[in-house]
Amino acid sequence: MATLHLFDLDGTLMYGSAAPVEISRQLGLSAEIASLERAFVARKVTPQEFSVAVHTLWAGLTPAHVRAAFDGSPWLAGIRDVWREIRECGDYCAVISLSPSFFVELLLEWGAHAAHGSVFPEVPFTRPMEVSGILTPEAKVTVADRLCAQFGVGRGDCVAYGDSITDSVLFEVVPVSVAVNARPYLAERATHVYEGRDLREAYQLVGVARPGVEAS
């Protein structure tokens, strides 16, 4: 049976940063997004409230800003190498993130089989934000289940990679999980813990612990 690798983006594939932070930096709004991020981490705002707020904050956003944010982000080394190896093994890799879909979907260029984020209007924004398309931690599991059906695997064939409490719900329903540069809350709930800047090293941790594969 194939394995489906499910990657978070913010703080996981991206070292010490997040898509909203990198996008806001391009717009000169670092202080504003920092305030929103603190409120979100403290659970003073919901994912829906956070996304609506950044949609308003990014009124001047253009595709050029998005591309500059993506290209300039502090990505872990080896992402494309890992995804290439996953494909060559006949396995699958996908990204599920609460960040904007227009940013998350750029990772398809690097070899992800699928990439899902909170659905934002097309950039530049001319339409209001629809809260129904905003992902929550619980919705990550719903997306994962859809991907399992798409690729012909089950939850027991999945490996999840994440860094924060927003990944904890997904970690609870899969047999193998990797806490990547994670907060203690998540690290305590993971089957593997990785600290560093190279996804190849995190991926190697699950080499003998893939679902359905016994360690020798």
Give residue 1's pLDDT.
Answer: 86
Give residue 214's pLDDT.
Answer: 41
Give residue 207's pLDDT.
Answer: 79
The rounded distance, in Å, linking the Cα atoms of 155 and 175 is: 8
Tell me which fold the domain 4-14+76-204 belongs to. Answer: Rossmann fold (3.40.50)
Give residue 74's pLDDT.
Answer: 98
The rounded distance, in Å, linking the Cα atoms of 152 and 3 is: 10
User: What stretches of the chain adopt beta strand conformation (E)?
Assistant: 4-7, 92-100, 114-118, 158-162, 176-180, 192-194
The rounded distance, in Å, linking the Cα atoms of 159 and 155 is: 9
Global pTM value: 0.94
| Token pair for 55 | 């949609």
10-residue mean pLDDT series, the chain (216 residues): 96 98 98 97 95 97 98 98 96 98 98 98 95 96 98 98 97 98 96 98 80 40
Q: Domain map of the chain by residue range? A: 4-14+76-204, 19-71
